[in-house]
Amino acid sequence: MTFIRRAVSAAAAAAVVLVATSADFASATGGEQSYIAADGTIQGCVNSSGHLRLVEVGSACRSHEQSVTWAQTGQEGPAGPKGDTGAKGDTGDQGPAGPAGRQGDTGAQGPAGPTGSQGPAGAPGLAGVHVVTVSKNVGVLDVVDVAATCPDGEIATGGGWYLPGSDAQSYGSELHSNPILSGTTPVGWTAGFLNGGYEPYYTASVYAICAKTG
């Protein structure tokens, strides 16, 4: 029992200081380091005097020795407690605004762009604007249509009618007033009149504003 206690004590002491003969040490520190097992533990034997010698992995100790092993690196200790968080410092005062930078120099003028493509031709303008007027007598109780037509090749841009004198206007009545169309193109103006009792007749006039196109 005494021998076992001494062997264990010697193994503990060997974790700090190894006591070995020069021959043992030379053998144990060879190039292959065969006394270190695959799991990293070191193999050794302790005699009754407490002397430790390193041995190759798997080798048996002598009859008066006790086999011991120990690790090269100790076990990792538990993590220490987390330190206190430092107090947040006060926010510093805002610094003064810096001076305004100088205005940059005007850049060089860029080159002129290419000429754009020509746009489509505009609609034909009007030329030779003039008024065509046609007058007709409207007898008592007559209904008469009066038409003012533009010359061939011209269009009507507007038109209207009128009665001369206040008496004619008192007895006369305009029944309709509208452009004369050739298809969808206005080519004149027409109006219809009724003489309600002006004797012997009154004269009604219709006009068209005509112009050439192109």
State the 10-residue block means of pLDDT for the chain, 214 residues long. 44 41 42 71 85 84 85 76 79 87 88 88 80 95 96 95 75 88 97 91 94 84
Per-residue model confidence (pLDDT) at position 167: 61
What integer pLDDT is reported at residue 74 of this predicted model? 65
**Token pair recorded at residue 105:** 């120099």
Query: How crowded is residue 159: how many other Cβ atoms within 10 Å of its Cβ?
Result: 25
* Phi, psi torsion values for 8, nearest 5 degrees: -65, -40
Q: For the purposes of burial, counting CB atoms within 10 Å of the CB of 171, is it exposed (0-12), middle (13-18) or buried (19 or more)? A: middle
State the pLDDT at residue 131: 97
pTM here is 0.43
